[in-house]
Structure 1
Amino acid sequence: MQTWLYILISISVAAFVGGLTNHFAIKMLFHPRKPMYIGSWRIPFTPGLIPKRKEEIAGSLGEIVSDYLVTTDGLKEMLQKPHFRDQIENKLIEGIQRLAQDDRTVKELALHYMSEEAWEAYKDRTVLWLQGAVDQGIAWAWNRYELADKPLQELIPGWSPELMTRWSDMAAEGIMNAVREEITSLQGQRMLRRVASGLVSQSGGFLGAMASMFMDEEKIVQKITPVLVEQLESEHVKVILSTKIERKLESLSTMSLDQALRSMAGEDGLNWLSRYAQNMLQWKAWAQQVEEIHIGSLVSRFEERLTSFVPRVVQVALGMLERNMANIVKSIQLPQLVREQVERFPIERLEQIILSVSGREFQAITWLGALLGGIIGLFQALFMLWLG
């Protein structure tokens, strides 16, 4: 064989072997994806390197990300950058401006993100949560401050004998005025006529017959009304009524709150307070009113104030994040999170990503293997010729 042909064949064979070896070496990073067997004997180098070491790679990536890429110090440094804070403030201000121009109601806005059934269920859950929160708050205060056993005189601010006297006088005057107005009203006059008629009809014998002949209900009412009004305006009656009320208040002042509520409402004091609070608050009606509020009208009313609060809110929020960053990163468990994500990531997709980024480099490695193989083939041919 001629010398030049021998050298050309040696170079070609060595280049082909070098390029093919590098090509299969790259392919064996991802292929085969599953182990291959001949009977019960597993063929060596199956599966490929990355499928075989996927769990180890995932663990290493998690440690690299948490130790070098996404670190507590790096996140704190990012939060301290003015550019980052400005971006957050601008986003919040833009959001407030969009809401100020929004013509939708709260319900319409909610239905943009959820169904009608989900919104109604959310409202019901919110109402139940608010009712539960109120009940828990009342129960906490009831037990925390031992309200059940505290007398009323300790719970009412400024309780004193002078206060009882003032309240008694006010109550007596109010009662007398109310009774006087009721007696002089049309309804009160009719009531007095019925009373007079009953008195006449109940009077028996000769005197009863004489009274029914010479006096009727109208005359009796005309005689009684001025007398009753005069008595209701007298100081003597006011003093008697005020004294009675003051004595009742004095007896009530030593009663505990639970005893007072039981005597007035006929049920456990804590239960009465919870029921009274729920009746006063009317959460369902409040929820229906809230869902009809227009977003724009609500936000535009406070737009300037909300905008002025944005820098302070961002500063406080980022400060809290910065102070608790170590705990946040620890609670996220970043290495475990990255590991789980990598383990769930399909090998096919991973191969596509790596080839899309490093495809040219892999081709260069293949051609470099062919070049090195050709050079080795050339030296091998020359060496063999030298040896004869």
Structure 2
Amino acid sequence: MNSWLILLNIAIGSLIGGFTNHVAIRMLFRPLRPWYIGNWRVPFTPGLIPSRRDEIARQMGRLVAEHLLTAEGVKRAITQGDMEKTLVYWLQDVSGKWMAEERTLRQLVRAAVPQVLDENGRWSESLRAPVARHWHSFVQRLLARHEDKQLRELLSDSGVQRLEASSGAFSELLLTRVRDYLHSPQGHQTLQTMVRSLLGGGGGMFGGFVGMFLGDDKVIGKLLPHLDELLQGKELHGRLEQFIRQEIDKLLDKRVGEVVAWIGAEQVEEWTDALFAKLEDQSLRLLDEPLSKLTQPIREPLLNEAIPRLARWLLDTVERNAERVFSSLPVSEIVTRQVEGFPIERIEQMVLGISGKEFRMITILGFVLGGMIGLVQGLLSMWLG
């Protein structure tokens, strides 16, 4: 009889210990809302975490802002970790895949923003019209901003020197073209016309007398060697070069406004339209090229030089501005709002998923301790009985 009493005490104590521990664990999260009997609220409802949810959110926000997500921590992660290598690898991977695309720009544009192309495959008027207006406005502003400047001021010193040095080559080219023209059939015909005009119409008695003995071909045969010698002579070349250089200097000394007025507003507008049309056609041709071909010239420099410098610049910028960013960023308030809006059920699942094994051990420990207390009570009952 005494043995059965001891076993009963052990069983009752074990059940009480395990059940109370299990209830205590559950009361951390449940019930989610307060229970009422009439106007009287049942004690310990809601559970500990739901009832202290606002305080927990504020404490977690303060913890994250003051100890976890700090400017010093970010700087330390940047300087001590492999963030730069990771960022470089990620940028190279993304850029490499993008530049290896065999799709054309037209395909990408049609997939991303189809409204910018019309049914003929050209830029839609909704895009072209504002771009054209901005282009004309840009040209007008550019001319207005530089109208009081000399053309010489718009060129670099090396550019002016190259332009002036080109006068010699231009004069030589011009004389060569004149010689080639004179030896061509068209040039011969021009000389014949000039000779006939000279001998027949304006030569007087002497011209008529010469024309009786010399034909056009003979006169041209006598005239061409002298013209060749004259065109190949250094004197004519030097004078022509000097003349061209003087004209270049005069042109470079002119102001932009004078040149524009001399050309005429209509001609400038026409050239502006022509240049815009050329740029438009060039852009449409580029649309039909695959990305892999378009990016081939810049692929290696971009991957091996530009991206590492970009990654270093980004991290340096973040490190320099970390204090200012974190001082203006309400980390504590953000974390507080996030925790306040987080469902209690998800918090319970998360905690149980992390500490479920330990909670089960606590429940088992309650059974064991309850059984041990029941055993002690049974033994004391027998000893005092």
Whether 1:347 aligns to 2:344 is yes
Per the alignment, residue 178 of structure 2 pairs with 179
Per the alignment, residue 252 of structure 1 pairs with 251
Structure 2 unmatched runs, 5+: 118-122
Per the alignment, residue 59 of structure 1 pairs with 58
Quickly say closer, same or farther: Cα 1:46–1:316, change in 2 above 3 A: same
Per the alignment, residue 75 of structure 2 pairs with 76
Measured in 2, the distance between the counterparts of 1:164 and 1:88 equals: 48
Measured in 1, the distance between the counterparts of 2:278 and 2:194 equals: 46
Per the alignment, residue 106 of structure 1 pairs with 100
Could you list the per-position Cα deviations for residues 274-317 of structure 1 after superposition, in whole angstroms to 9, with x for gaps in the alignment? 95898499556567657234999986x779x949x97x988776
Per the alignment, residue 30 of structure 1 pairs with 29
Distance apart, 1:151 and its partner CA: 1.0
Distance apart, 1:238 and its partner CA: 6.0
Could you list the per-position Cα deviations for residues 142-178 of structure 1 after superposition, in whole angstroms to 9, with x for gaps in the alignment? 87xx64422123344559x999986656544433332
Measured in 2, the distance between the counterparts of 1:380 and 1:259 equals: 116
Per the alignment, residue 291 of structure 1 pairs with 291
Measured in 1, the distance between the counterparts of 2:87 and 2:331 equals: 27
TM-score by length of 1: 0.56
Measured in 2, the distance between the counterparts of 1:220 and 1:158 equals: 52
Secondary structure of 1:107's partner? coil
Secondary structure of 1:31's partner? coil
Secondary structure of 2:101's partner? helix
Measured in 2, the distance between the counterparts of 1:41 and 1:92 equals: 63
The answer as to whether partners of 2:6 and 2:378 remain within 8 angstroms in 1 is yes
Per the alignment, residue 326 of structure 1 pairs with 323
Measured in 1, the distance between the counterparts of 2:253 and 2:261 equals: 14
The answer as to whether partners of 1:104 and 1:294 remain within 8 angstroms in 2 is no
Q: Please show how residues 271-290 of structure 1 align to structure 2 within 5 Å.
A: 275=275, 279=279, 282=282, 285=285
The answer as to whether partners of 2:164 and 2:248 remain within 8 angstroms in 1 is no
Q: Which amino acid counterpart does residue 60 of structure 1 have in structure 2?
A: Q
Secondary structure of 2:75's partner? helix
Distance apart, 1:354 and its partner CA: 0.8
Measured in 2, the distance between the counterparts of 1:297 and 1:52 equals: 64
Secondary structure of 1:59's partner? helix
Per the alignment, residue 150 of structure 1 pairs with 149
Per the alignment, residue 357 of structure 1 pairs with 354
Distance apart, 1:256 and its partner CA: 2.0
Quickly say closer, same or farther: Cα 1:262–1:66, change in 2 above 3 A: farther
The answer as to whether partners of 1:265 and 1:272 remain within 8 angstroms in 2 is no
Q: Please show how residues 159-308 of structure 1 align to structure 2 within 5 Å.
A: 171-189=170-188, 222=220, 226=224, 232=231, 245=244, 248-260=247-259, 263-264=262-263, 266=265, 275=275, 279=279, 282=282, 285=285, 291-293=291-293, 306=304
TM-score by length of 2: 0.56
Measured in 2, the distance between the counterparts of 1:222 and 1:40 equals: 129
Distance apart, 1:61 and its partner CA: 1.8
Residue identity over aligned pairs, in percent, reads: 28
The answer as to whether partners of 2:84 and 2:315 remain within 8 angstroms in 1 is no
Secondary structure of 2:64's partner? helix
Distance apart, 1:223 and its partner CA: 7.0
Measured in 2, the distance between the counterparts of 1:232 and 1:297 equals: 46
Structure 1 unmatched runs, 5+: none
The answer as to whether partners of 2:196 and 2:216 remain within 8 angstroms in 1 is no
The answer as to whether partners of 1:103 and 1:296 remain within 8 angstroms in 2 is no
The answer as to whether partners of 1:196 and 1:220 remain within 8 angstroms in 2 is no
The answer as to whether partners of 2:195 and 2:216 remain within 8 angstroms in 1 is no
Q: Which amino acid counterpart does residue 151 of structure 1 have in structure 2?
A: Q
Measured in 2, the distance between the counterparts of 1:365 and 1:103 equals: 53
Q: Which amino acid counterpart does residue 69 of structure 1 have in structure 2?
A: L
Distance apart, 1:107 and its partner CA: 1.3
Measured in 1, the distance between the counterparts of 2:70 and 2:173 equals: 74
